[in-house]
Amino acid sequence: MRGLRAAVGGVDGVVISTPEYAHGVPGVLKNALDWLVGGPEMVERRVLLLGTSRHSVHATASLAGTLRMMSAHVLEAPPIELPRGGPTLHERALAADPAVGLPLAAALAGFVQTLLAVRARRAPGG
Ligand SMILES: Cc1cc2nc3c(=O)[nH]c(=O)nc-3n(C[C@H](O)[C@H](O)[C@H](O)COP(=O)(O)O)c2cc1C
């Protein structure tokens, strides 16, 4: 867990994109977050929640509640609908699909703007 703490503690922002299982957050992700409770790593950390289905509202809501309890700042992007039922697409093919790539780029660009604004406010004289 030292690796996770170091990784999260050393960044401006965290992006979480997860499947929903049985109307909940997958256990491994919840467990990882539980290890960070009580530490300084998530406090004031900007976290972008990037859903992959408009149906996965329970996991997103639960995740947001957990993260807010940890004093993180939660930002929610509109869910991006990943294609289902076809051949398995890898990340480059998914990113090249305008229905995925364009909203993904917009969500990440908005998040980067947020992080830059936070950094500018923290900078001496900013
Ligand atoms: C056991 C199990 C439970 C699931 N429960 C939900 C659910 O409650 N809501 C939902 O939107 N999708 C649910 N899904 C679909 C997953 O969120 C996900 O879209 C799908 O499993 C593909 O992702 P994966 O390959 O990482 O498992 C479930 C999938 C599994 C295997």
Question: What domains can be seen in the chain, in order of their start residue?
Answer: 2-122 (3.40.50.360)
- 57-69 and 27-36 are packed helices; what angle lies between their axes, rounded to 10 degrees? 10
pLDDT digits (tens, 9 = 90+) for 13-50: 999 999 999 999 999 999 999 999 999 999 999 999 99
Nearest CA, atom 27, ligand 1: 19
| Closest ligand 1 atom, residue 24 Cα | 8
Q: pLDDT at position 126, please? A: 59
Q: pLDDT at position 31, please? A: 97
Backbone angles phi, psi at 15, to 5 degrees: -110, 130
pLDDT digits (tens, 9 = 90+) for 76-115: 999 998 887 777 888 899 899 999 999 999 999 999 999 9
Task: Sheet containing 13-16: give its strands across.
Answer: 13-16, 46-50, 73-77
For ligand 1, which residues put their CB under 6 angstroms from it? 19-23, 53, 55-56
Distance 20 CA to ligand 1 centre (A): 5
Q: pLDDT at position 85, please? A: 75
- What predicted TM-score, i.e. pTM, was given to this entire model? 0.91
Mean pLDDT over 55-68 rounds to 96
